[in-house]
Amino acid sequence: MSELLLWVGLAVACFVGYNIGGSTTGPAFGPAVGAGAISKAVAAGLMSIFFFVGAWTIGRRVVDTLGTELVTDTAIFSIEANVTVLFFIGGALFIGNTAGVPASTSMTAVGAIAGLGVAAGELNWIVMGQIVTWWIVAPIIAFWVSGVIGRYFYARLNRRIALVQSEGKLIEFDRSGVVPRPASGPNTTRRELAGVAVIGTIGCLMAFSSGTSNIANAIAPLVGSGDLDINVGIIMGSVAVSVGAFTIGRRTLETLGNDLTSLPLTAAIIVATVSATIVIILSAIGIPASFVIIATMSIIGLGWGRATRTTTVADRVRGEKSVPVSVGSLASDEEGEELPAIGEEEPEEIPAANELFNPSTTARVVVMQNVVPLIATVGAYLTFTFVPIFGF
């Protein structure tokens, strides 16, 4: 019976990894695929490689946190408890996906394990407090860093890195020899190649950051109980992520995944860079971070920064003296359009803050991203407390 449950646990862990691959490939490589820089297959391949690198290196620290440090006695990770925890993780994430909101895998996993720890009286409250503290601080940091960029540097960055795609293929292959050789397309410019290189690099960085934080969500309980060697678990989880990237990940790439990749290309690069950097830093100190929430707050911060940029313009229409006004993006979001200098915008063309991000949608996303982990936490606690089979 225990062997059967172990196989069930491994299957559920792979299912969690499969969904991680499907949900994170779009945000990581959506801009690159949308710009025609790489194909969906190449995006899935890069996702698989860099996720594994992140998991094999920094990801081990997060596995240790969830598998051994979050609870004071790893004996509570029985095979029955592990299967239950993984089912709560998968079930709660399914609820979030059904609601159309990308839930936090890390918060859901920590919540399910914490529910087990509280029910068994073995939760390490110090470690839990550190994790929750960083969950609060990290999105605030993302908001303010992105807000400063949006307020003071976005227009300049957009002029420098906005990508205008030329006609025809970006890269062609010379097949005259034995080995096909890549070459730039007939109309491809150096700036376009440089922009594509930046986009691809940011995608790889996001895939790496996903590996550092998310591998623990699939394998930590099984590793903590000793039922699964950490090296085998990382390989197994990374393979499951790769399968998800090559299958359901293609659909997220088709629609560019979520709000992150529906942003203007410059904004997407900024949000991805800020979010991935914060996640990697937190993973390095063993904190399971939520890329989704950090990225969401980065998007809000960037929009807020652009919406609250102020300057003094003469109201030539009414003939009044100069007054401070809120200047949003200072330009169209179309990539490559020339941005007007500060003060040259027409007052009637200045967007309001709610035109840069939707407050009601933002509220729904933030609420659901907290409700889904809460469901996993409360559900796990009630199950482990009142179901006699666990004996807590």
Please tell me the predicted confidence (pLDDT) of residue 170: 61
Is residue 105 within 8 Å of 112, Cβ to Cβ?
no
Please tell me the predicted confidence (pLDDT) of residue 169: 62
State the residue range of the domain holding 244.
2-390
User: Is the full-model pTM beyond 0.85?
Assistant: no
Give CA angle at 60 (57, 63), nearest 5°. Answer: 155
Neighbours of 219 (CB within 10 A): 32
Please tell me the predicted confidence (pLDDT) of residue 300: 84
Total residue count of the chain as it appears in this document: 392
Please tell me the predicted confidence (pLDDT) of residue 189: 67
How many domains does the structure of the chain reveal?
A: 1
Please tell me the predicted confidence (pLDDT) of residue 242: 95
Q: What percent of the chain has pLDDT over 90?
A: 32
| Mean pLDDT of the 179-194 span | 67
For 7-58, write each residue's pLDDT tens digit.
998 998 998 888 888 778 877 887 777 666 678 888 899 999 999 999 999 9
Instruction: Write down the mean pLDDT value for the chain.
Output: 77
For 329-353, write each residue's pLDDT tens digit.
333 334 344 444 433 334 343 344 4
Please tell me the predicted confidence (pLDDT) of residue 116: 93
